[in-house]
Every structure is written in structure tokens, then in C-alpha cells.
Amino acid sequence: MTYLPKKDRYEKMKYRRCGDSGLLLPEISLGLWHNFGHVDDYENCRLMLQHAFDQGITHFDLANNYGPPPGSAEETFGKILKQDFEGYRDEMIISSKAGYTMWDGPYGDWASKKYIIASCDQSLKRMGLEYVDIFYTHRPDPHTPLEETALALDQLVKQGKALYVGISNYKPAETEAIEKIFQKLRTPFIIHQPRYSMFDRWVEDGLLETLQKLRKGAIVFSPLAQGMLTDRYLDGIPEDSRAARESGHLQQDAVTEEKINKVRQLKTLSEQRGQSIAQMAIAWLLRHEVVTSVLLGASSVKQLQQNLETLNNTAFSQDELDQIEIILK
């Protein structure tokens, strides 16, 4: 069956300017870190991407090693792009990254020019694209000069393989240092992608202020702390959860009774707001002006839609914010 996007899709989403750039991003973006690999159900992947686009999500975030297996999320995305979105490329912001292990040997990891250029070329082939809108260095590399990494990203822009560049997981001082290099090169560096949630607040120790000062946008990932900021773990660890999978990014020992008690208290507050815990946790991130977009994963259309309904209520009273701080501390 041929997919036709809903005509009112742009009436449903709110968009924010990314730093001082010309680019607008949806307040909620879809990340393909999980649930889009070759091991996942292809038709479910299609339905999630279609629903996201129908709801005004224009930004789709990938990386070279997303899967499993590594690379397969980009392949799945590329196949669905060709099948359903061929006439809509110019309505989409597509990003990818390089920085974590992708292939064997000394050139398939970190942030050397060799790895970044080769990785971008591979990503474009997997997705069937001529360019990505944003290409990131996925993490700082302690063994490669910042100048080399910056020059590699700048080259991608000059070659027409990326429109903008970004960084991910860089600390405040590293962010300021690479920004100075990008300024000299006149590279369109516009965005930082850090991990941020109620349970993981390292960005509040200087990074948000740095991005505000540099006039860069932030797109935050893991906003629900790998599922902890939902009602999933209130009655133990479900067999199909990330914490139950040994290879998952949420380890069982991270699901502590102390955190579960905090989630229970947050649930009480979220219910008073007429929201789920997840919806309140997403809204809490969007209260920051510097946060351009919250990057969400999804395993189903239903889950994605529930989280999109966050946008119906993103305002907080000072009393609610104070209550959240008391719970989290």
C-alpha cells in the first residue's frame, strides 16, 4: 500500500531554532539507536517512521554503528526512505555520526580524519543519500588532535556530503576548543548531542551554559534514562526490558530501590499534571531554552504517540519544579 503523508502534519508539531543557525528542528526527534536493526520487524519500523512524519517529526537521527548488526539501522532507514519517502527528502533532517567502533582494525573507531571521511561515505551508501543534513563526531578522541577531527568534518561540508556538523558527548572545555577551530574554518557547527535526563544531569555542570554562550543548539538523548523514567520497572524487571538483556545499555544493577522510589514519587506528581512519568520527564527537558529537541527512541507507534502527547503540556509551575528537585535529591 502506497504511503501518503498527512496533509496537516506540520500543524501538530512545534519547532525550535537550533542555536543561532537558520535550521529549525522539531521539539521531538526520532532516534534509530534501537529497534531499527536487521533483527527488528521491518513493517513495524516502517509504521513508526510513517507515524513520526505524519506527526510533524522531520528529524531522524542515526549513527554508523546503530543496529544490530552495526550499520543495519541505516540500511533499514535507507530502504524505507526509498519505499515511502522518495519525494519528501527536502522535508527531512537526517543525521549520522562516527566515533564508536564500526569495523575491525585501527581505522574503524574514534575520530581520525581517515575514519570520519570513510564512515560518512559508508553511511551515505547504506542510506542511499547524496548528503546528510548533520554529521557528528560521536565522541571526543583523546588520541587525535581536535584540529584533525574539525578539518575532517569541515571537509565533508565542503564536499557537499553534510550541510551542518555537530559534536556529541563533548565536555564544556572540549566544546569551546573545537568551536574556536570551526570558527576559523567557517564550518557550520550548530549542535551538540549530549545525554540528559532527570537521572543523568552532567550537562548542568557547565555544558548548557557553554552552549547558550556559544549560541549552539542541544539535542538530548536518553531522556527517559533507558526506560527508568517510565512505569516499566515499578514492579520489578520485565523479561523483555533493556535491563533484562545482558548486552543492553541499562544494567540490572542500575535499577535500584532508591531510584524506583524516586520514580514512584515522580509518578504521583506526573499524575497530578495529567501526564505519564515519561511525558513529564520529556517536558522537564524542554523547559530549557537551549534544548532545541529531545531525541526519543520508540519500539511501537503506540509508544511514540504517547510520548508525542507530551507537547500538549510542557509548562511547569515553580512549585512543581521545586518538588521535582526535592524528589531527585
Q: Structural domain tally of the chain? A: 1
CATH code of the domain covering residue 303: 3.20.20.100
Q: pLDDT tens-digit profile of 33-61?
A: 999 999 999 999 999 999 999 999 999 99
Q: Among 87, 80, 70, which residue's Cα sits nearest to residue 122?
A: 70
**194 occurs within a structural domain:** yes
**261 occurs within a structural domain:** no
**Strand (E) or helix (H) holding 174:** helix 172-185
| Backbone phi, psi, residue 200, to 5° | -145, 95
Q: What is the DSSP letter of 51?
A: H
| Mean pLDDT in residue range 66-81 | 98
**320 occurs within a structural domain:** no
| Mean pLDDT in residue range 83-96 | 98
> Quick one: pLDDT at residue 234?
85
Q: pLDDT tens-digit profile of 226-260?
A: 999 999 888 765 565 554 455 455 555 577 889 99
Cα–Cα distance for residue pair 187/26, rounded to 1 Å:
23
- Count of Cβ atoms closer than 10 Å to residue 39 Cβ: 10
> Positive or negative CA dihedral for 20, 288, 305, 197?
positive
3-state secondary structure of 194: coil
**324 occurs within a structural domain:** no
Cα–Cα distance for residue pair 107/109, rounded to 1 Å:
6
SS (H, E, C) 56-107: CCCEEECCCCCCCCCCHHHHHHHHHHHHHCHHHHHHCEEEEEECCCCCCCCC
The pLDDT confidence band at residue 309, using thresholds 50, 70 and 90, is very high
CB neighbour burial string for 147-172, b if at least 16 within 10 angstroms, e if fewer:
eebbbbbbbbbeeebbbbbbbbbbbb
> Quick one: pLDDT at residue 244?
47
Domain enclosing residue 120, as ranges: 14-232+284-314
> Quick one: pLDDT at residue 19?
98
The pLDDT confidence band at residue 1, using thresholds 50, 70 and 90, is confident
- By percentage, how much of the chain surpasses pLDDT 90? 91
Q: pLDDT tens-digit profile of 115-138?
A: 999 999 999 999 999 999 999 999
pTM value? 0.94
Q: pLDDT tens-digit profile of 251-291?
A: 555 778 899 999 999 999 999 999 999 999 999 999 999 99
Q: pLDDT tens-digit profile of 140-178?
A: 999 999 999 999 999 999 999 999 999 999 999 999 999
Cα–Cα distance for residue pair 150/166, rounded to 1 Å:
10
**275 occurs within a structural domain:** no
> Quick one: pLDDT at residue 252?
53
**276 occurs within a structural domain:** no
**97 occurs within a structural domain:** yes
**244 occurs within a structural domain:** no
